[in-house]
Amino acid sequence: MNESQLAVYYTSYRHLAKVASRDAFNNSSSGRNGSIFNLLGSGALISLGCRAMLRGISSICKKQELDLDKAARYGPDEKTRKLR
């Protein structure tokens, strides 16, 4: 992957991990489908898995010398910013 593709991949997964972690705990705290302990446990596993994958993707980006801070700041509302 080139630098732009890797930056899009990193920012997309970063957003996905944040949303999945948030939704896992929001859905688990309601207690709709099963015991609260099972739902909190699954929410914790999803959150930990997302963090582990994000750390892995971050290490790949660092090996490719991608500026993670710059990639994290770049978004659809900041149309004038360039990655380079």
Q: How many CA atoms lie within 13 A of 8 on its CB side?
A: 5
* Cβ neighbours of 71 (radius 10 Å): 21
What pLDDT score was predicted for residue 32? 57
Q: How many CA atoms lie within 13 A of 18 on its CB side?
A: 7
User: pLDDT of the chain along its 84 residues, tens only?
Assistant: 788 888 888 989 998 888 888 887 676 555 555 677 777 788 888 889 999 999 999 999 899 988 888 887 765 545 545 544
Tokens of 57: 């993707």
Sorted by where each begins, the domain ranges of the chain are 3-73
Q: How far apart are CA 65 and CA 1, in angstroms?
A: 12
Tokens of 62: 């660092």
State the Cα angle at 62 between 68 and 1, rounded to 5°.
90
What pLDDT score was predicted for residue 55? 93
